[in-house]
Amino acid sequence: MSDDTIYLQHILACISRIERHVAGGREAFLASDLLQDATLRNLQTLSEATQRLSAAAKATQPQIPWAQIAAFRNVLVHVYLSIDLEQIWIVIHHDIPPLKQAVRALLDAQP
């Protein structure tokens, strides 16, 4: 199993957990510190894992903003006091679905 495969599986696992955490809807997410913390942690871990993917793997999915995902991790870790949960909600529903699709495509292409 390649390193890429390990990280891709890890990214999908984080996405799955995020999807479970927000399944109760926006209001439940915004009202729960536990759901927020769990979701933010998985976004952080997911972002870190994308940084560890090979350049060759990322190049096969150029529609994904890999550098922005890496920068997002830095915001989550270092600028945590100014995290906008409404923006996080948008990221989860706008940016995660295409990432999930790209990661699945990358996994399907693994030998």
Residues carrying an active site annotation: 73, 78
Three-point CA angle 21, 23, 28, nearest 5°: 75
Q: At what angle do helices 66-78 and 33-51 cross, to 10 degrees?
A: 130
Provide the CA 57 distance to its chain's centre, in angstroms: 16
